[in-house]
Amino acid sequence: MKIQKILKRLLQLHPKSEPSTLNRIKRLLKDLNSPENKISNLIQVVGTNGKHSLIVSAREIFETAGYTCNVNISPSLRKFNERYYFSGKYILDEELHDLLVEVEQINDNQSISFHEIITAAWILHASRNKSDINIMEAGALFRLDSSNVFQKNLCSVIMPIGIDHKDFLKEGTIDEIVYEKCSHLLGGSKIFVSEQKNDVLEKIKKNIANNSSEKFIFGQDYDYKKNTDGFIYKDKIGKMNLPLPNLSGDFQISNVSTAIAAARNLDQFKITESHIKEAITKIRSEARLQSITRGKLRKYVSESNQIIVDGAHNCLAAFAIKKYLETLNKEKKIFMVLSMMKNKEHKAFIQILKEKVHSITTLDMPNQTNFIKKEELSKIARSCGIPSKTGNSIEEALKDIASENKNATIFCTGSLYFAAEILNLN
């Protein structure tokens, strides 16, 4: 409760009318004695999708090899502490409370966004808790994101880029998004570019063409190929036969391959094939095609009902989800439970999944304010030609679907916030 009270105060420090800028966080960091300048062993991760999967994969590889990691992610899923990982463990409540109070007092009620002040707090704590690697996820974009305050890094990683967060942009085009994410990456280090759509890859190459960092591009400098037992990873160092990662969906092999490329092409670290083989079978990533096999929510469905939870919320993710759904048992109908934030491409998202979904139950987003109303979302689903109805709760939606079809796959998606609510209920 003490932490929630502080977070509530921090949310009120930034008038929404103020434009995006790095000036506020740079001012606060200066008042904190410039902790960002004490962090150099940094991996910065940008992109639209796959950032979290990349980060947990890379962390597992480094830690298996005996290195310590500090990690900053955004957003957190179930508990705010998830954003603050230091040397193998999440920050304790008391420690987090004291850190946020310290930064709040130094800020002295000056205007600053919530994301900026909590990022500054992580940077301060990371500068005091030295680890071998610091891994930092950029927010919605990067050019004006609070993670873009460093002078040097080990590398930047560009994960798949697509349309999202258009409300932060003037035009919301893919060109603008690529520019915001890629044009201001640090030079003099390394840049790893993950698997991308061809047209997006060309735009990324154009944006980083004059960057002095060494480039490692998927399909040119590293690659993978799935086989019956796992997958073959290949880069300039050599080839490895690897087991499938502990993540659902073939697209995760691509995310893991980028983590491998970064880990073993950073000269400061000694990452062996055995480290990688062990690490990728231990990766844990919640709300990414996660099957609910036990817990409180199972009592609302039959033993034959499969519940899958995923935080997908944009079109790029929807395409990846569609490919995954195609691998499921064709005899089991897929019933979707959907809840989304207001600023998403609702119709386009639903349209991509249209052929795979039997029906959709829409819900209001618990414990959020800026969500699309379930009635409006259901109307959009019906306009796409999918039978749709509204529900009053997650529990009720599961119960209704199970009573209609005791063999159905129940796929819950639309937002990481929604996925977190489901996991917390369970």
173/295 same-domain check: no
Q: Is the dihedral of CA 109, 113, 115, 116 positive or negative?
A: negative
Residue 20 has pLDDT above 90, yes or no: no
CATH assignment at residue 357: 3.90.190.20
The domain total for the chain is 2
- pLDDT value, residue 165: 59
Mean per-residue pLDDT of the chain: 95
In a domain, 105, yes or no: yes
User: Which DSSP letter does residue 371 get?
Assistant: B
Q: Is the previous residue joined to 75 through a cis bond, with omega within 30 degrees of 0?
A: yes
pLDDT band (50, 70, 90) for residue 119: very high
**Which of 280, 311, 335 is the last residue in one of the domains?**
280
239/323 same-domain check: no
**CA neighbours closer than 13 Å in the CB half-sphere of residue 42:** 26
In a domain, 14, yes or no: yes
189/49 same-domain check: yes
Q: 93 by DSSP, 3-state: which? A: helix
pLDDT more than 70, % of the chain: 98
Domain of residue 329, residue span? 290-425
| Burial annotation 107-141 (CB, 10 A radius, 16+ → b, else e) | beeeebbebbbbbbbbbbbbbeeebbbbbbbbbbb
267/296 same-domain check: no
Residue 253 has pLDDT above 80, yes or no: yes
- pLDDT value, residue 40: 82
Residue 141 has pLDDT above 90, yes or no: no
Q: 280 by DSSP, 3-state: which? A: helix
276/174 same-domain check: yes
CA distance 35 to 125: 8
pLDDT band (50, 70, 90) for residue 140: confident
294/243 same-domain check: no
**Which of 280, 314, 339 is the last residue in one of the domains?**
280
Residue 17 has pLDDT above 80, yes or no: no
pLDDT more than 90, % of the chain: 92
Q: 137 by DSSP, 3-state: which? A: strand
Query: Would you call 250 exposed, middle or buried from its count of C-beta atoms within 10 A (0-12, 13-18, 19+)?
Result: middle
264/327 same-domain check: no
46/83 same-domain check: yes
Residue 371 has pLDDT above 70, yes or no: yes
CA distance 334 to 272: 41
- pLDDT value, residue 172: 75
Averaged over 334-344, what is the pLDDT? Answer: 96
175/251 same-domain check: yes
275/294 same-domain check: no
Q: Which segments of 265-389 does DSSP mark as H helices, in order? A: 273-280, 315-325, 346-353, 374-383
CATH assignment at residue 48: 3.40.1190.10
- pLDDT value, residue 171: 76
In a domain, 285, yes or no: no
In a domain, 186, yes or no: yes
CA distance 289 to 250: 11
In a domain, 21, yes or no: yes
pLDDT band (50, 70, 90) for residue 125: very high
CA 222 to chain centre: 22
End-to-end CA distance of the chain: 21
**Which of 280, 305, 324 is the last residue in one of the domains?**
280
CA distance 242 to 278: 9
